[in-house]
Amino acid sequence: MASTHAPHSKTAAIISRPDRSEVARIVPGLLTWLGEHGYKVIIDEETATYIAGHEVVPRPEMCCNPLDLVVVLGGDGTLLSAARVTAAIDVPLLGVNLGSLGFLTEVPLPSLYAMLEAIAAGRATVEHRSLMQCELLRGDTVRGSYLVFNDAVVNKTALARLNNYDLFIDKAFVSSYRADGMIVATPTGSTAYSLSAGGPVLMPTVSAFVITPVAPHSLTHRPLVVPDSVEIEILLRSEEEVAYLSLDGQPGLDLRDGDRVRCRRSEHKVNLFRTGTDFFHVLRTKLKWGERQA
């Protein structure tokens, strides 16, 4: 019997949230659709837990493949992970929401195949989101360089006293902050931790970053919105030498007195397939903002 699959001319990757049993139910049909539409498929190790017989590529190595599409099955955390590991090849991501809030993975599971058909027909909208390149510096040494989609957070530990942070924009001194922490967020990340700390909501397409102090000692220290063309640097001055740098909510990196965190716009962007729903509808739905009165 002849195969109904089209010849492979494109490559798609499937990245899944760990420990979600529904992935086992979703993936077989997804693989069939992708095969029938001419895709060779690679999967990450999390997806391989539920399906056998396909090429498995660890997430950090996904960018070594010439991908045309990445399907992300999970929540926003899974999409953040996928965005970081594929940003260098500028591949579009389709985020399918298996979580709860789903700011980024806005496509509900019942709409998966309608979105795939729209992608195949060239009708799907792609939105370009900015990334930050963040560096951790100790003295003159760069201890690490990281791509960040949501935010970089310098924070004290639960038991430490308030830390002091000096903020610089394009090497110009802005202010000293005595606070629990400091957040540098992209427009996408403005609805994450920064929002909880009192920061503003930025539309995802705005060319800006927001700097939000966490529980500052001075009430006059407010969130600051700056162009994304600037370089932001936070200098830690900690008497107890206890603080952490967390990137996109990942486990923290130990910081010590005198360490600097430097953030700037990355040359790469994250490309997300969108349903066409406007941003304010998303805010009303996800944040439970009020609907217009009749």
Structural domains of the chain in order of their starting residue, each with its CATH number: 10-123 (3.40.50.10330), 132-267 (2.60.200.30)
The pLDDT assigned to 270 comes to: 93
Is 44 noted as a catalytic residue in this protein?
no
User: In sequence order, which ranges of 71-227 are alpha helices (DSSP H)?
Assistant: 76-86, 112-120, 193-196
Instruction: Return d(Cα 34, Cα 40) in angstroms, integer.
Output: 8
pLDDT digit string, tens, across residues 7-65? 668 999 999 988 788 898 999 999 999 999 999 999 999 999 888 888 999 999 998 88
| Residue 283: its H or E element | helix 279-286
pLDDT digit string, tens, across residues 91-147? 999 999 986 667 788 888 899 999 999 999 999 999 999 999 999 999 989 999 999
| Residue-by-residue DSSP string for 221-252 | ---EEEETTS-EEEEEE-SS--EEEEETTPPP
Regarding beta strands 181-185 and 125-138, do their DSSP bridges make them parallel or antiparallel, or are they unpaired? unpaired
39-to-34, 64, 66, 67, 78 alpha-carbon distances in Å: 5, 17, 12, 10, 22
Please give the model's pTM, rounded to 2 decimal places.
Answer: 0.88
Q: Which of 44, 76, 180, 228 is catalytic?
A: 76
The pLDDT assigned to 194 comes to: 96
221-to-167, 193, 207, 215, 253 alpha-carbon distances in Å: 12, 17, 23, 9, 26
Instruction: Return d(Cα 188, Cα 127) in angstroms, integer.
Output: 11
CB 97 within 8 A of CB 105: yes
| Bridge partners (DSSP) listed for residue 263 | 134, 232
Beta strand spans in 18-106 (E)? 39-43, 55-56, 69-74, 92-97
Type of residue numbered 283: L
